[in-house]
Amino acid sequence: MLFQVAGNDNASILISFASRSFNAGQLTSKLHVIELGAVPGKPSFTKKQADLFFPPDFADDFPVSMQISQKYGLIYVITKQGLLFVYDLETASAVYRNRISPDPIFLTTDASSVGGFYAVNRRGQVLLATVNEATLVPFVSGQLNNLELAVNLAKRGNLPGAENLVVQRFQELFSQAKYKEAAELAAESPQGILRTPDTVAKFQSVPVQAGQTPPLLQYFGTLLTRGKLNAFESLELSRLVVNQNKKNLLENWLAEDKLECTEELGDLVKTVDNDLALKIYIKARATPKVVAAFAERREFDKILIYSKQVGYNPDYLFLLQTILRTDPQAAVNFALMMSQMEGGCPVDYNTITDLFLQRNLIREATAFLLDVLKPNLPEHGFLQTKVLEINLVTFPNVADAILANGMFSHYDRPRIGQLCEKAGLYIRALQHYTELPDIKRVIVNTHVIEPQALVEFFGTLSREWALECMKDLLLVNLRGNLQIIVQTAKEYCEQLGVDACIKLFEQFKSYEGLYFFLGSYLSSSEDPEIHFKYIEAAAKTGQIKEVERVTRESNFYDPEKTKNFLMEAKLPDARPLINVCDRFGFVPDLTHYLYVNNMLRYIEGYVQKVNPGNAPLVVGQLLDDECAEDFIKGLILSVRSLLPVEPLVEECEKRNRLRLLTQFLEHLVSEGSQDVHVHNALGKIIIDSGDNPEHFLTTNPYYDSRVVGKYCEKRDPTLAVVAYRRGQCDDELINVTNKNSLFKLQARYVVERMDGDLWEKVLSPDNEYRRQLIDQVVSTALPESKSPDQVSATVKAFMTADLPHELIELLEKIVLQNSAFSGNFNLQNLLILTAIKADPSRVMDYINRLDNFDGPAIGEVAVEAQLYEEAFAIFKKFNLNFSAVNVLLDNIRSIDRAVEFAFRVEEEAVWSQVAKAQLREGLVSEAIESFIRADDATQFLEVIKAAEDADVYHDLVRYLLMVRQKSKEPKVDSELIYAYAKIDQLGEIEEFILMPNVANLQNVGDRLYDEALYEAAKIIFRFISNWAKLAVTHVKLKEFQSAVDAARKANSSKTWKEVCFACVDAEEFRLAQICGLNIIIQVDDLEEVSEYYQNRGCFSELISLMESGLGLERAHMGIFTELGVLYARYRPEKLMEHIKLFSTRLNIPKLIRACDEQQHWKELTYLYIQYDEFDNAATTIMNHSPEAWDHMQFKDVVVKVANVELYYKAVHFYLQEHPDLINDLLNVIALRVDHTRVVDIMRKAGQLRLVKPYMVAVQSNNVSAVNEALNGIYIEEEDYDRLRESIELHDNFDQIGLAQKIEKHELLEMRRVAAYIYKKAGRWKQSIALSKKDNLYKDCMETCSQSGERELSEELLVYFIEQGKKECFAACLFVCYDLIRPDVALELAWMNNMIDFAFPYLLQFIREYTSKVDELIKEKLEALSEVKAKEKEEKDMVAQQNMYAQLLPLALPAPPMPGMGGGFAPPPMGGMGMPPMPPYGMPSMAPY
């Protein structure tokens, strides 16, 4: 915590901590406060310490948390058991100690806002602890008698309670002339009790010594160093500074916020500095003064900002008029700022506008209105019209700009339209007119209307109106307005309709307009009709180039219709027709049209330049038109290489004129053409001519074999085979050879081709010619072949086609007979494999006859084919003994033959395989022998498992000893120990574990233990010091003492439990208790031990164990609770004593359940109270009152219950069992119960009188049921005094019902009470009648006076006259003086000869009215004087206004506006025919 040490400018860092130590055999606890990082040479904090005194009941308690209050400078020390120690941080003095929680506290945190802390206890409650500010200082000064600490706490925390001490100390210092100390004390006084005008006056009264600082300045200096001055101190100090003309000091103090700003301080400072005074006014929120200051500085914009901030409402109209006289632009800005104020403009926009217009400030008024009318609201329609009218008359260009912006939409549009037409703004007039005749009248002025604007205007018209206007424009001036109409049609063709626009132009036969209109629409239209009409219009207007372009680029016109139109039009230029016919496939029609019309030049141009690719079509059409061959040949030769040969050949071949192309084809070949179509055509010509076609087919590399071969099939199949072989046209060659039975050629081709797909096709079962082909392959094609690749491909094809028999036949011919491939490795392998697959009977013969094959691979294949003997023969032939023995073992399954084979070869790998097979067959001993022969230690896991299953541990020992020589495996050593144990060789075990080994002794020991080999397990556990397992092993061997000793070394809860439970079962209770004491200190194991004892009926031993556990150092709540539960079950006489002794160390909810089960109601009640479950405690007491009820205890409990229903249950309980004490109970719970319900309970029980004392006590709550019950009791008891008192003090009851009940009572006083009730209820007549009946005239008069009804009073006077009660008549005049009319009183008195009795009333009346007349005359005279004074003041004001009006310039168009403060008086307003106005509803500004 940071702490300010006196004399040190920097704060010191203090830490506090608590210590606990043993000193001379006693436990002492101390609190320490020290400083961290003290700076040498500067004052530092002196280390403090104090003792923490714990009460005897809390000797074992200790601090668990500490919090420091920055607010009060206190240290809070919180202990585990809920004690709170409060110490002063500066002196480490003890302030307070108390217990704040009955449950342990384990977490705290600072509560800085209240200067305390939050704490959480074990029950989950969150506690907030802090000091009581009102009683802390009196407590320290009174009970602790530490005045100095009390004063320090009061100053440090600004706490009450030390006022007298501080004042007394201040007076002592002042009397001793210690002004500096007195000033410091006053500055630090708690709650500023000494910072008063009296203190300042005291310091002012001290005479100043020469050469010394005045005490008053010392006082103010001390206050400034401590903080901020209050209002009075700030004013007095500022007065001193102003008198000394030290304004800079004021500025510094204000900047440092040392002074409290007030209006008086601002007035004082204004005499020397207006700016500084304005700052003070703003801080003091002296709004009128601030506004006056801004007005004096002409900072009107700041007035609005400030007024908005503080919520002040000045006279804005007056301010605007003042600004308008001097700076119109500033007035505009000010008006705009007003318009932006929250809540709307304080001055009407129209009023502001009129102010500008009165001075002919058109531009300023326009600027203002344009800004405020931006939202474009309907209510501003008048102003919108106004601003437009003004500018249309004066500045039409401004109005045009306003309308162009489109910012207004609520003005008078017809009016503005007329003004626009008069001003020559025709387009604006069009925009505002809504009638077609008006629009037609204005729209014809196209010579002064901007075309683009007119076009845009057409977009605002409906379709019908727009077309009407367009017709009018064309009628008026077709040539002049055509461009506008075309532009309009272009812009709004979608709205107007393209068809309508076209019809409009056609109506006036304006193909030029149609041409221009459709030209703009053409690019976005896909309508064929539109495109055709455009072509038609362009053609009729002579736009041939445009016709050519559109026919070339457009994709949407109707080609047939366009072609026919162009042919009919017979344009001099044929290019448009060429474009249409070329693009849309009308080349024959085009050729025919051009040929018929003798336009051969266009034919040559089309073929040569436009589209040479269509030359074949042209040639074909020319041949059909019987054109001369010379022209056609010349046309073909003129194109040459650009001419597509294939379609040309097709066209000529179709017409049987192929020879026509001979010269053309030979010319192309001579030029080096490699075009396949050229050579195809040339080949066809050669084949037809029979000019050595074989040479051409074999030597020409460019022709297409399929095309030429197809051409040859019907002419010569052999030539077709030649062509297909050259092009590897497999399918075609196979088809032609099959068709013509040329199988030998087919076989040779297939063998030479070596193509797998081709083989698959010809060897397919679906091929009806497969057998003929195979025969030719086997007999001719393959024997002729010398290529290994061809042979290999053929064999592979036979294999793929799954023809094993044919393949064997083929291979035997190649391999077994002397041929070039007899010793081929692959073919031998293939022969054996094929035999394995197709004919296993030949395999053994092939194995014996062949030597150059892959033995291992073939052997594996034989195994897979289940030819085991053949496989064994192969492996044996190639000395593959390992594989051979595997065949014997795995496939032939003959262990005897395998053992015999192993003896023959004597290989370890063979023996190893044999051993594994024997192991699988369960021949464990034989397998172990074989493993030993194989010297194989790799299978020790399987051997161990098998040996254990077969119980051959002697053989296993031999094997494991062999394995240990080859590897160090924990499993081997572990199993060896286990085997020794199984054959009962304990000595060998002890000897083995003493030798170096890698056995997992823990696992071995556990395994021996699990299999009940306890002696061997004991050796292992003792060797590895596993005391826990050793203990349970001793238990199994019934060695309990040794088990306890081992458990003590193990010190494990689980071990203790096992040993303990075993001792209990063996009735070794002494040893069991030793074990149990080590178990019950663990909370989690306590219940298990308890249940084990109880299940075996060892109740006394269990209680003895728990009682012994109470004295343990580590005894916990569970032990105390469990002992309480045991007492509840088996020793109830000890239960209450146990609960009271250890109530803070019990798990109360658990013990509550136990007591509830065992029906110990008194103890259960006590536990509920301790656990703050007062509802359950009260319920238990009432349900089991013979045992649990105690009146004093029940009263303490019932006031703390949360369930309100228990209060009423308690009332029923006491009413039934303890009626004599029910009032005592009700008085305790009176503040918590519903009194109406209690009264209802007692009324139903007929015992209302029994609770009368309770009802009297609670009647102050004015509850209806209580009042009525008590009133009923008072009536029965005829206690009218109590009844009247009850009625007067408590009015919440059925008053009329009670009055009716007792108005006929036999007692007079009861009837009088009834009259009083009627009077109180406002039933004056009933009350008066009842009082008259009993001659209670005084009551009658008082009732009349209180009623305030004149008729009742006058009726009572008449009644007294009738009864002859003259004295009562006089008394009634006095009592009802304010109600009785004088004329009625005098009339009744005169008529009944009672003037003497009415005379006192008459005297009083005359005196009263005389006084009233005198007062009225006096008030009237005073009012006349005030009116005269006011008239005089108004005359003086008018005279001043007239004087100021003479000074105004004569040229102003409007009357002068009022001035503002500082000697400016309001001018007269009578000159405009208006009465003089008051000074604008705002007080004069001069006082500001």
pLDDT tens digits, one per residue of 1024-1047: 787 878 788 878 778 888 888 888
pLDDT digits (tens, 9 = 90+) for 634-659: 777 777 767 787 788 877 877 777 77
Lowest mean pLDDT among 289-298, 413-422, 1216-1225: 289-298
Instruction: Report pLDDT for 128.
Output: 92
Residue 1012 per-residue DSSP state: T
- pLDDT level of residue 1453 (50, 70, 90 thresholds): very low
Closest to 566 (Cα-Cα) out of 548, 549, 583, 554: 548
Contact partners, residue 1068, CB within 8 Å, separation at least 6: 1040
Tokens linked to 695: 């040479």
pLDDT digits (tens, 9 = 90+) for 330-364: 778 878 787 777 777 878 878 888 887 877 888 88
Per-position b or e across 1466-1477, b if 16+ CB within 10 A of its CB: bbbeeeeeeeee
pLDDT digits (tens, 9 = 90+) for 1-25: 677 666 666 777 888 888 877 766 6
pLDDT at 1284 over 80: yes
> Can you say how many angstroms the Cα of residue 1027 is from the centroid of all Cα atoms in its chain?
58
Amino acid at 1031: A
Contact partners, residue 909, CB within 8 Å, separation at least 6: 881, 882, 934
pLDDT digits (tens, 9 = 90+) for 523-566: 778 888 888 888 888 888 888 888 888 888 888 888 888 888 88
Amino acid at 1164: L
Instruction: Report pLDDT for 109.
Output: 92
DSSP for 1134-1194 reads GHHHHHHHTGGGS-HHHHHHHHHHHT-HHHHHHHHHHTT-HHHHHHHHHHTHHHH--HHHH
- pLDDT level of residue 130 (50, 70, 90 thresholds): very high
Q: What is the mean pLDDT of the chain?
A: 79
Rounded alpha-carbon distances, angstroms, from residue 525 to 384, 455, 528, 557, 951: 44, 22, 8, 10, 102
Contact of 817 with 786, CB cutoff 8 Å: no
Instruction: Report pLDDT for 48.
Output: 83
Query: 1022: number of CA atoms within 13 Å, CB side?
Result: 14
Tokens linked to 1210: 């308690």
CA distance 1059 to 1076: 9
Residue 121: is it exposed, middle or buried by C-beta count within 10 angstroms (0-12/13-18/19+)?
Answer: middle
**Residues present in the chain in total:** 1488
**Residues above pLDDT 90, as percent of the chain:** 2
* Cα diameter, the chain: 186
Contact of 1299 with 1317, CB cutoff 8 Å: yes
Tokens linked to 182: 């007195």
Q: Count CB-CB contacts under 10 A for residue 131.
A: 23
Tokens linked to 948: 């254990």
Tokens linked to 1488: 């500001």
3-class DSSP state of 1062:
helix
pLDDT at 478 over 80: no
Contact of 881 with 887, CB cutoff 8 Å: no
3-class DSSP state of 121:
strand
Contact of 1054 with 1029, CB cutoff 8 Å: no
Residue 672: is it exposed, middle or buried by C-beta count within 10 angstroms (0-12/13-18/19+)?
Answer: exposed
CA distance 98 to 831: 110
Vertex 1378 angle, CA 1372 and 1384, to 5°: 65
**Residues above pLDDT 70, as percent of the chain:** 92
When pLDDT is averaged across residues 1201-1217 and rounded to a whole number, the result is: 88
3-class DSSP state of 108:
strand
Tokens linked to 1364: 């002859």
Instruction: Report pLDDT for 1019.
Output: 80
Residue 79 per-residue DSSP state: E
CA distance 464 to 593: 47
Name 75's bridge partners: 68, 87
When pLDDT is averaged across residues 19-45 and rounded to a whole number, the result is: 77
Vertex 779 angle, CA 775 and 782, to 5°: 105
When pLDDT is averaged across residues 264-280 and rounded to a whole number, the result is: 80
Most confident of 233-237, 686-690, 1061-1065, 1217-1221: 1217-1221
Closest to 398 (Cα-Cα) out of 369, 374, 377, 375: 369
CA distance 233 to 97: 42
pLDDT at 1469 over 60: no
CA distance 253 to 279: 13
Instruction: Report pLDDT for 827.
Output: 67
pLDDT digits (tens, 9 = 90+) for 555-599: 888 888 888 888 888 888 888 888 888 888 888 888 888 888 878
CA distance 477 to 456: 20
Instruction: Report pLDDT for 1.
Output: 65
pLDDT at 1449 over 70: no
Contact of 18 with 30, CB cutoff 8 Å: yes
Residue 20 per-residue DSSP state: E
Instruction: Report pLDDT for 1031.
Output: 80
Is 873 or 1488 the better-scoring residue by pLDDT? 873
Rounded alpha-carbon distances, angstroms, from residue 654 to 641, 661, 674: 22, 13, 24
Vertex 1440 angle, CA 1435 and 1445, to 5°: 120
Instruction: Report pLDDT for 117.
Output: 92
3-class DSSP state of 129:
strand
Which pTM was predicted? 0.37
pLDDT digits (tens, 9 = 90+) for 1135-1183: 888 888 888 888 888 888 989 888 888 888 988 888 888 899 899 989 9
Residue 17 per-residue DSSP state: E
Instruction: Report pLDDT for 1058.
Output: 83
Element (H, E) at 751: helix 743-753
Element (H, E) at 345: none
CA distance 486 to 451: 11
Element (H, E) at 850: none
Instruction: Report pLDDT for 1481.
Output: 34
Contact partners, residue 349, CB within 8 Å, separation at least 6: 339, 369, 372, 380, 383
CA distance 681 to 665: 8
In the block, tokens 């005749």 appear at 437
Amino acid at 295: A
pLDDT at 816 over 80: no
Name 12's bridge partners: 3
Tokens linked to 785: 């072949």
Instruction: Report pLDDT for 86.
Output: 92
Instruction: Report pLDDT for 1470.
Output: 36
Element (H, E) at 118: strand 116-121
